[in-house]
Structure 1
Amino acid sequence: MKTFLTMALTLIVSITYGQLKPVSYQDGSQKLNGFSIAPAKGDTKKAGILILPAWMGIDKHSKRVAAELSQLGYHAFIADIYGEGNYPTDVKSAGIKAGYYKKNITEYQQRIKLAMQELVKSGADASRIVVIGYCFGGTGALETARENFPVKGIVSFHGGLDRDSTRTINPIMPKVLVLHGADDPYAPVPVILAFHKEMRTAKADWQMIYYANAVHSFTEAEAGNDNSKGAAYNELADKRSWKHMLMFLDEVLAR
């Protein structure tokens, strides 16, 4: 049975969810369809959070995240990476499309940059932006740090950590928070160690937090609860990672 608090929070999120505003924007001739949401209680923080969805594109999870951030007083914008007519229809097509942007990283960066511009247009302070991403979106969030986008920080939830080893490692200015499932099969130890080395070489201000018994997609309720599949929801890791993100936001966006 749901508690009164759970039902109240569900009601709040559902009401705010309806406040998401579709936003059409362009990358050349490609139409993109993102979502914007303003702070629920007035423009209290002026800070903006750019949300980069997982590999299926804009989904229920990214919309819930935007609604919750709105309740906390943030402007939020959900980026459309793929563009109209190019949305995945299943896991196979999602893997192909996400793989394209991982290989053509400058195109991924461009889509993120355009979404960031829309976030600022919606009312967010351009000097107080944080990028957060989930899975494929976590990879994108790390790219904004690697390319020193004008953001205060980035948060990667169970995101891809690997990078082309031939790329030059430049100093990283945005603060970095990586929230990672300790049992994530998609991030083998060599990849994790290479990422640690990259962060040290880049002299980044970085944190990496591991969650026990958590695999890939631990924030995604729609992922089910079977860890043996490699991707599954973990309620405790989801709650803990959310709190860790909020602490990070309080730090990097402090006036």
Structure 2
Amino acid sequence: MSVTTKWIDIESGDGTFGAYLAIPHTGKGPGIVLLQEIFGVNEHIRSVAEQYAADGYMVLVPDLFWRVGKHIELAYDDAGWKRAVELMNATDVAKALADIALTVAALKTQPGLEGKMAVIGYCFGGMLAYNTAANGLVDAAIAYYGGGIQNQLQRADEITVPLLMHFGAADKHIALDAVQSIAERFEDNDDVEVHVYPGAEHGFNCSHRSSYNQRAAAEAHGNSLTFLSDHL
């Protein structure tokens, strides 16, 4: 039996939004709430959810752009980038975090959910994963090239769960001095890891992008699996 997937509905005070559920072949496992890039719950993000489900986790991916349009999927071309930035700028972060809290609650009710729960986010979702950890909603958190975390270090003391952050050394969107400021802020916290991958650009984990870096993606995924096995 392979990974199974489906969309489920989650009720909020503003209406109903969808979330993509990926279930391991065993039908059970620890939980992961996976947070999209600015391109929506597109083919790439669904494939990442399925990868983690294949690794034995129950994965739920909320559609964070649903207030603008449901199931928006964008490509990584110029038109996709333009629309993605518009959607990100139009997103109310507080409402997105509230949606994530509802997603955490929804995953807890899924048959087969066993043990603890983590959040994993990419790009815009990486920043949201950091804040979700600060909000105390999960047992561990992973942020891939989370843009803007360096501007939210006032929340660092609110991070009381293990946190793993991945950055690319060649990321043109997140400068190395920003990564350094993050690493320095958490240097006394043994539960926080910061990994920087040489030659990796923004979006290095995404095989649909020209910036895909197979070695960095493989190393980061291995580091993530080790981290998850240690803390979930």
Q: What TM-score do the two structures reach when normalised by structure 2? A: 0.86
What displacement does 1:31 show? Answer: 2.7
* Distance of aligned partners of 1:25 and 1:128 in 2 relative to their CA distance in 1, 3 Å threshold: same
Whether the 8 Å contact between 2:38 and 2:124 is mirrored in structure 1 is: yes
Whether the 8 Å contact between 1:31 and 1:84 is mirrored in structure 2 is: no
Identify the range of structure 1 (88-97 vs 158-167) with the bigger mean alpha-carbon deviation: 158-167
Paired residue secondary structure (1:130) = strand
**Given the alignment, which residue of 213, 220, 229 partners 1:241?**
220
Code of the aligned partner of 1:216: H
What displacement does 1:71 show? Answer: 1.9
Paired residue secondary structure (1:223) = coil
Aligned length: 225
* Distance of aligned partners of 1:163 and 1:208 in 2 relative to their CA distance in 1, 3 Å threshold: closer
* Distance of aligned partners of 1:162 and 1:171 in 2 relative to their CA distance in 1, 3 Å threshold: closer
What displacement does 1:29 show? Answer: 2.9
**Equivalent residue number for residue 83 of structure 1:** 66
Q: Deviations over 1:82-139 (max 9, x none)?
A: 11643475322211221344xx432221121111122112236485001001111111
**Equivalent residue number for residue 77 of structure 2:** none
For residues 136 and 124 of structure 1, the distance between their equivalents in structure 2, rounded to whole angstroms, comes to 29
**Equivalent residue number for residue 50 of structure 1:** 33
For residues 99 and 204 of structure 1, the distance between their equivalents in structure 2, rounded to whole angstroms, comes to 34
What displacement does 1:165 show? Answer: 5.6
Q: Any unmatched runs of 5+ in structure 1?
A: 1-11, 225-231
* Distance of aligned partners of 1:147 and 1:42 in 2 relative to their CA distance in 1, 3 Å threshold: closer
Higher strand share: 2
**Equivalent residue number for residue 99 of structure 2:** 111
What displacement does 1:197 show? Answer: 4.0
* Distance of aligned partners of 1:209 and 1:51 in 2 relative to their CA distance in 1, 3 Å threshold: same
CA RMSD of aligned residues (A): 2.4
**Equivalent residue number for residue 31 of structure 1:** 16
* Distance of aligned partners of 1:84 and 1:21 in 2 relative to their CA distance in 1, 3 Å threshold: farther
Structure 1 or 2, whichever has the larger Rg, is: 1
Q: Any unmatched runs of 5+ in structure 2?
A: 75-79
**Equivalent residue number for residue 193 of structure 1:** 180
* Distance of aligned partners of 1:30 and 1:121 in 2 relative to their CA distance in 1, 3 Å threshold: same
**Equivalent residue number for residue 66 of structure 1:** 49
**Given the alignment, which residue of 117, 125, 139 partners 1:152?**
139
For residues 75 and 157 of structure 1, the distance between their equivalents in structure 2, rounded to whole angstroms, comes to 19
Q: What TM-score do the two structures reach when normalised by structure 1? A: 0.79
**Equivalent residue number for residue 192 of structure 2:** 206
What displacement does 1:190 show? Answer: 3.7
Code of the aligned partner of 1:110: A
- Which 4+ runs in 1 deviate beyond 6 A? none
- Please show how residues 2-17 of structure 1 align to structure 2 within 5 Å: 16=3
